[in-house]
Amino acid sequence: MSEEFVACHDCDLVHRIPVGQEGRSGRCIRCGGVLFNEKRNSVERTLALAVAGAVLFVVANVFPFLSFDMQGRVTETTLLSGVRELWNQDMGSISFLVLITAVVAPGMQLLLLLYILVPAHLGRAPHQLSLCLRLLRRFEAWSMMEVFLIGIFVALVKLGDLADIVPGPAIFSFAILILVLAGAAATFDRRGLWRLVPVSA
């Protein structure tokens, strides 16, 4: 059975472990830190979640997010029209933050996952795997859809007396997308991907 070397993230002790430990995890013999935690069918499961996420992302951005009925005057907003409205009301920095944390970062997260996982599913390593994985970490850190959603709920409670507010299909897609992205992050196995990269002498 082939083996590979894994350094402990916590104490740097190098271990030699057999390849192909799907569904198993291992701990460092010196400090007990987690050495590896290989998920079963990680590529297929994460790819399925990323495809579902991409559909939800499109729905969340194209369809109405909320509609307000204020004394017969109905206003519909989408995620992007909300961003534009903030910009028009001289809240440039908040508008930019919403755009980055609720639209750009999750969108880039999904694009990168698909870019990495489609070739991985076909048994090939994507070009620039290390760059993609680094970018993925960056965008994961900036993806804060749940914070945005909590902000929306707080605003809804406060506006509830002033207008009738009807949630649109986008807000439900947005909420499910948060769960799907969390699931994709949980099933994604970075370490396993490196086996697809040929080792050059």
Question: For Zn ion, which residue of 30, 84, 121, 190 counts as binding (CB under 5 A)?
Answer: 30
Please tell me the distance from the alpha carbon of residue 67 to that of residue 168, in angstroms, as a whole number.
7
The pair of structure tokens assigned to 101 is: 């944390």
Q: Is residue 11 close enough to count as binding Zn ion by CB under 5 A?
A: yes
Choices 3-11, 75-83, 96-104, 146-154; region in contact with Zn ion by CB under 5 A? 3-11
CB 33 within 8 Å of CB 11: yes
The reply on whether position 34 binds Zn ion by CB under 5 A is no
Least separation, in Å, of the C-beta of 162 and Zn ion?
57
N-terminal to C-terminal alpha carbon distance within the chain: 21
Measured in degrees and rounded to the nearest 5, phi and psi for residue 26 equal -140, 150
CB-nearer residue toward Zn ion: 11 or 62: 11
The distance of closest approach from Cβ of residue 34 to Zn ion in the complex, given in angstroms and rounded to an integer, is 9
Opening angle at CA 194, ends 189 and 196, nearest 5: 110
Is residue 35 near Zn ion by the rule CB under 5 A? Answer: no
Return the exposure string of 125-162: e unless at least 16 CB atoms fall within 10 Å of the residue's CB, then b.
ebeebeebbebbeebbeebbbbebbeebeeeeeeeeee
Element (H, E) at 77: strand 73-77
CB of 35 to Zn ion, least distance (A): 8
Q: Does 33 bind Zn ion (CB under 5 A)?
A: yes
Tell me: does residue 22 bind Zn ion (CB under 5 A): no
Tell me which stretch binds Zn ion (CB under 5 A): 25-33, 49-57, 73-81, 102-110: 25-33
Among the residue ranges 27-35, 43-51, 163-171, 185-193, the one whose residues contact Zn ion (CB under 5 A):
27-35
Residue ranges in contact with Zn ion by CB under 5 A = 8, 10-11, 13, 28, 30-31, 33
